[in-house]
């Protein structure tokens, strides 16, 4: 479910069921040509579908962090994850369609991105990782 699909008056009722937040990270640097930005967003959409579709009803997708570079800019991911948890989400999944090997966030419960060769994660591996994250959280 997208954040924009939830009306103010619905949130209190839905909050117990929507305990997981998906934070997409596009990973653009600002030097992309228009067609490269379009491709990056299309790839992100495709990877987001691996979580949004099978887990509809438990996950809320927040707006993407589009521009991020190595180093200190990545601290924004940690700050956003921490803030999302403070608002009541039990789990935060950071997801990117771009290899984000250097991306770390202790506040994220799961970080999903393509491998070094750019191969996107499979639906099966994403599903297993999300279920494992929820199972660890129930312990």
- CA-to-CA distance for 25 and 73, rounded, in angstroms? 12
Distance, in Å, from the CA atom of 108 to the CA atom of 77, rounded to the nearest integer, reads: 9
CB environment 49-59: b (16+ within 10 A), e (fewer): ebbbeebeeeb
Q: Which pLDDT belongs to residue 109?
A: 95
pLDDT in tens, 14-53: 887 889 999 999 888 888 999 999 998 999 999 999 999 9
User: Shortest CA distance to 52 belongs to which of 121, 135, 123, 102?
Assistant: 123
The runs of H, that is alpha helices, within the chain are 8-14, 34-52, 75-86, 123-138
Identify the residue whose tokens are 């937040």: 21
For residues 27 and 100, is the Cβ–Cβ distance under 8 A? yes
The C-alpha atoms of residue 123 and residue 135 are separated, in whole angstroms, by: 18
Query: What pLDDT, on a 0 to 100 scale, did the predictor assign at position 12?
Result: 79
Q: Is the pLDDT of residue 75 over 90?
A: no
């Amino acid at each position: 479910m997208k954040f924009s699909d939830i009306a103010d008056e619905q949130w209190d009722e839905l909050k117990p069921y929507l305990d997981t937040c998906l934070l997409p990270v596009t990973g653009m640097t600002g030097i992309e040509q228009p067609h490269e930005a379009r491709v990056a967003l299309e790839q992100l959409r495709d990877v987001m579908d691996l979580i949004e579709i099978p887990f509809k009803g438990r996950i809320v997708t927040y707006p993407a962090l589009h521009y991020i570079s190595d180093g200190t800019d990545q601290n924004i991911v940690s700050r956003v994850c921490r803030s999302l948890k403070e608002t009541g989400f039990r789990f935060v999944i950071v997801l990117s369609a771009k290899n984000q090997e250097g991306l770390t966030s202790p506040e994220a419960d799961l970080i999903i991105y393509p491998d070094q060769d750019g191969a996107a994660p499979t639906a099966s591996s994403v599903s297993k990782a999300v279920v494992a994250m929820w199972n660890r959280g129930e312990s």
